[in-house]
A and B are shown apart, each in its own frame.
Chain A
Amino acid sequence: MKHAERYLIGATATLAALSASAAEVVPRAHRPYAFGSFAVVIFMTLFVTWWASHKGKTARDFYTAGGGISGAKNGLAIAGDYLSAAAFLGVSGLIALYGYDGILYLIGFFVAFVPVLLLVAEPCRNLGRYTFGDVLAYRHDFRTSKLLAAGSSVIVAIFYMIPQIVGGAVLLYALLGVPYEVSILVVGALMLIYVTVGGMRATTWVQIIKAVLLLTACTGLFISALVPFHFNVVRFFVALLHQTELHDYLTHGRRVAGGEDVQLVTKTFFEPGLFLKNPLEQLSLGLALTFGTAAMPHIMMRFFTVRDAQTARKSVLWGMLAIGGCHLLIIFLGFAAAYYVGGLRIAATDKGGNLAAPLLAQYLGGGAGSMSGNILLGLVAAVAFATIVAVVAGLTLAAASAIAHDVYVGAIKGGRATEQEQVVAGKIAAALVGVIAIGASLLAKGQNVAQLVGLAFAVAASANLPALLGTLYWKRCNTFGVTCSVVGGTAIAIVLVLVSPNMQYPLAIRADATLTLESASATMKTAEERMNDLALTPEARQSAAVELAKADNLRQAAQATLNATGQATTSIVGLEKPLVNLRNPGIISIPLGVLFLIFGSLLYRRSTLAEEKWKQLVFRRDSGIGIDDVVNH
């Protein structure tokens, strides 16, 4: 599973690898329509931000939108916060190219909401005020808890944000030809406007709008794709199963052996194994997703925006309904893209398949040469872009809250700060986080930053979740155990990624590039001979010329790679090859994070503070009685 992580959650970042040809997806003459679609969506979100900025000026308004969001709205906002471009663009593309294996990826993102529903949402609402740090500080040392929670929240948020910003920028470039640097600044500026001007209220509404747009777009495409089949899903799948184009695509790249019986080949598209080669990797990723989601700071923060635990529960249920519905639509759209657009064209546009959904929209709207097709493509791309900025805005607010509320107000000012100081601190922190994320995204040009998404989930699952669950459900848990879990879990996840195949290993890169160089040179030689062969038809000579140009591009790219690696022989941590053959460290780092918590708590002297507060915490966690003290303190 050479590029599993990249395909999976790194749809945003794999876009970074799009070829220049992707910029031709929307013909130049039709770009104004696509631009117009983008402009409408962005204008809507900016209008909501302006409206939200007049709604409240208190710290509670800024961090939690006043705490009065209804369950249904918060559920949609959770869906907006959580459904990233990876699901919409990445997984639909993965299904379009590899069929069944794409579905396996998506399911983990949905199942991940079970721990959120059962273990996290209601207790967090009953114990916290604005952040994850509030929950830890309920029974552990105040300053230590705040600093630990802030540190890990910021790390997770930044790791998750960079690939999102890069993905948004590359989407703008790929579809509209906007230069990378300009696109990064546009994404960064939008997220800063949403957060600093409108705070949580604007961010919530941007996420609701995005969720509604995404569901509407997916439903619209679903209906359009089924029109020729009279809305009969079974007939659609039977047609796909017998499609000769699918057979040709599957046998073309030798994904499966060719055969006379079309159905025998196309059946493999609905079976596991076309993409997943290492089951252990999938298991590791499944663990990171199912345990990491419950401890992602931007998801946890959503539970502080509602009145009580019952509303938090309703939020998760509404969120699961929206996310599950969207997932089922995305699964269908992946297969629809395979049927209508075809794997060969999708892979030719972007080998990761990330433009499958926009290409499907273009096809269903009338094709690349039609105005309606490009308007529809623009709308779908604008929804994908809104998806990205909504996720990024949620992450920015989560990181800003951690810095302002936990570090500045909590650890530095000891919890004593005026309303205005808290709001100003929040806005400054948001600007700081934004600048860091924009700077890092600009530096990431041309880099594969996809592994950061997997790393964010792994850190959340290995560091934050053991600390959170220990605090909530284990009497013996103490500050030292939580410290060991957060610091140890974060460190082990990062170290494992640094020694994993995610890193760049110059020797392997040079070996690959040399092979490509040799193969391209051989192809060029053959193509040149064919071009000079006067016995061939003009069409055959022209085909040879195209082949020559392609091979030359490959040769140049391989040469550039060889030049770029220079004399280096080791990765940035001095390794010639990976020490651990897993791209996602979850299967190792999560059990270690739990062990750090257990041994840290058991080896340290019993904390009377934590144990005295235990009964109080259990009562508050389960009943929510006294919640007003938390909200109003």
Chain B
Amino acid sequence: MITNLDLPASGARAQPIVSPTQAFDECMAKKNRMLLVLGVAVFIYYFALIVGAGWFRPFYTRSLPGGLNVGIAFALSQYFFVGALALIYARRMKHVDAQIKLLAEARETKNETR
């Protein structure tokens, strides 16, 4: 959607720029894809631990360097995996926050010009 707000202030018929609404919609589509990817990744990683502990116990007992075994390493890694995904989410959401701010400002400007 392109509105008057998206045109350059000089009024010249230059190349239209992407409207805040359009940019916001695109940003939200990306955000939703990110939610899906992160959600599925965590779901698979967590339930792999549960399924492995239940049905693949011999694999979990394999020794690893430092006195660890696969089961302990996989279990403790859940905290770091989930923490890392949460940080990725927070980082990506900064871009979404910026888009929301732009959109809010554009709406305010539109309301003022009315």
Complex interface residues of chain A between 91 and 120 (CB less than 8 A to chain B): 100-101, 103-104, 107-108, 110-111, 113-115, 117-119
Contacts of B76 in A (CB 8 A): 103, 328, 331
8 interchain pairs (CB within 8 A)?
Answer: A100-B75, A103-B75, A110-B82, A111-B78, A111-B82, A276-B53, A623-B24, A625-B107
The CA-CA distance from A624 to B28 in the complex, in Å, is 13
Contact between B71 and A320 (Cβ–Cβ < 8 Å)? Answer: no
Q: Answer yes or no: B83 CB below 8 A from chain A CBs.
A: yes
Establish whether residues B86 and A283, one from each chain, have CB atoms under 8 Å apart when the complex forms. no
Knowing A282-B53, A283-B54, A623-B104, say if A313 contacts B82 (CB, 8 Å). no
Residues of A within 8 A of B87 (CB): 317
Tell me if A622 and B47 are in contact (CB < 8 A).
no
Interface flags for A264-288 (1: CB within 8 Å of B; 0: not) read 0001001111001001101100100
Q: A241 near B: Cβ within 8 Å?
A: yes
CB-contacts of B80-114 with A (<8 A):
82-83, 85-87, 89-90, 93, 97, 100, 103-104, 107
- Residues on A with C-beta less than 8 A from B11 are none
Closest to A320 in B: B86
User: What residues on B are CB-neighbors of A320 within 8 Å?
Assistant: 82-83, 86
Interface SS of chain B: helix
Could you say which residues of chain A place their CB within 8 Å of the CB of B107?
A: 625
Q: How far is the CA of A625 from the CA of B101 in the complex (A)?
A: 9
From B43, B54, B85, A279 is in contact (CB under 8 Å) with B54
Q: Of all chain A residues, which has the CB nearest B35?
A: A118
- Total residues of chain A contacting the partner, CB 8 A: 44
B79 CB contact (under 8 Å) in A108, A117, A286, A324: A324
B26, chain A: closest CB distance, angstroms: 12
Shortest B66–chain A CB gap in Å is 6
Besides the known contacts A290-B46, A625-B104, 20 further A-B residue pairs in the complex with CB atoms under 8 A apart:
A103-B76, A104-B50, A104-B75, A107-B79, A108-B46, A110-B78, A234-B66, A234-B67, A237-B67, A267-B61, A267-B69, A270-B72, A271-B61, A271-B69, A276-B53, A279-B55, A310-B97, A324-B83, A623-B103, A625-B100
Distance in angstroms from A461 CB to nearest chain B CB is 14
Residue of A whose beta carbon sits closest to that of B94 = A310
Name the CB-closest residue of B to A99: B72
Chain A nearest CB, measured from B93 CB (Å) = 6
Q: Which of B57, B72, B97, B103 contacts A625 (CB 8 A)?
A: B103
Chain A residue with Cβ nearest B66: A234
Pick from B31, B46, B72, B79: contact of A327, CB below 8 A. B79
Which residue of the partner chain B has the closest CB to A314?
Answer: B90
Chain B contacts for A119, CB-based, 8 A: 35, 39
User: B12 in the interface, Cβ–Cβ < 8 Å?
Assistant: no
- Residue in B24, B31, B69, B86 with the greatest tally of chain A CB atoms within 10 Å: B86
**What are the interface flags for A288-312 relative to B under an 8 Å C-beta threshold, 1 for contact and 0 otherwise?**
0010000000000000000000100
Task: Kindly list chain B residues whose C-beta atoms are within 8 Å of the C-beta of A534.
Answer: none
A interface vs B, CB < 8 Å?
A: 100-101, 103-104, 107-108, 110-111, 113-115, 117-119, 234, 237-238, 241, 267, 270-273, 276, 279-280, 282-283, 286, 290, 310, 313, 316-317, 320-321, 324, 327-328, 331, 622-625
User: Quick one: which of A100, A234, A321, A624 contacts B72, CB cutoff 8 A?
Assistant: A100
A409 to B77, CA, bound (A): 47
B5 contacts A by Cβ under 8 Å:
no
Q: Which residues of A contact B23 (CB under 8 A)?
A: none
User: When chains A and B are docked, how far (Å) is the Cα of A282 from the Cα of B47?
Assistant: 10
Contacts of A282 on B, CB cut-off 8 Å? Answer: 50, 53-54
Knowing A104-B75, A110-B78, the reply to whether A317 touches B90 (Cβ < 8 A) is: yes
A110 engages B79 (CB within 8 Å): yes
Residues of A within 8 A of B43 (CB): 290
Of chain A, the residue at the smallest CB distance from B38 is A118
Bound form: Cα–Cα A623–B97 in Å? 8
Cβ-closest 10 pairs across A and B: A279-B54, A272-B53, A111-B46, A114-B42, A271-B61, A103-B75, A107-B78, A286-B50, A623-B100, A118-B35
A278: nearest chain-B partner, CB-CB? B54
In Å, the complex CA distance between A119 and B35 comes to 8
User: Which residue of chain B lies nearest to A283 when distances are taken between CB atoms in the complex?
Assistant: B50
Q: Is the CB of B28 within 8 A of A270?
A: no
Do B72 and A286 touch across chains, with their CB atoms under 8 A apart? no
Report how far A117 CA is from B84 CA in the complex, Å: 13
Residue ID in chain A nearest B79 by CB atoms: A324
Shortest Cβ distance from B98 into chain A, in angstroms?
Answer: 11
Q: Which residues of A contact B89 (CB under 8 A)?
A: 117-118
Known: A234-B66, A270-B71, A271-B60. A114 touches B85 (CB 8 A): yes
Please tell me if B7 contacts chain A, counting CB pairs below 8 Å: no
CA distance A237 to B64 in the complex (A): 14
Are B69's CB and A270's CB within 8 A?
yes
Residues of A near B78 (CB, < 8 A) are 107, 110-111
Q: In the docked arrangement, what's the CA distance between A324 and B39, Å? A: 18
Does B51 reach chain A (CB closer than 8 Å)?
A: yes
Residue pair B72, A114 in contact (C-beta under 8 Å): no
Write out the residue numbers on chain A whose beta carbons fall within 8 Å of the beta carbon of B46: 107-108, 111, 286, 290
B residues within 8 A CB of A286? 46-47, 50
Nearest residue, chain A, Cβ from B81: A111
A271 touches B100 (CB 8 A): no
A268 closest partner in B (C-beta): B61
Which of the listed residues A111, A115, A237 has the most CB atoms from chain B within 10 Å of its own CB? A111
Give chain A nearest CB distance to B84 CB in angstroms.
11
Residues in B whose Cβ lies below 8 Å from that of A103: 72, 75-76
Q: How far is the CB of A323 from the nearest CB of chain B, in Å?
A: 10
How far, in Å, is B111 (CB) from chain A's closest CB?
11
- Give bound CA distance, A286 to B43, whole Å: 10
In the complex formed, the residue of A with least CB distance to B93 is A313
Expressed in whole angstroms, the Cα–Cα distance for A238 and B66 within the complex equals 9
Which of the listed residues A100, A320, A622 has the most CB atoms from chain B within 10 Å of its own CB? A622
B51: which A residues are within 8 A, CB to CB?
Answer: 279, 283
From A107, A118, A625, B75 is in contact (CB under 8 Å) with A107
Out of B55, B71, B83, name the residue touching A100 (CB < 8 Å): B71
Task: Point out the residues of chain A lying under 8 angstroms from B31, CB to CB.
Answer: 622
Inter-subunit contact B90/A104 (CB<8 Å): no
Q: How far is the CB of B88 from chain A (nearest CB, A)?
A: 11
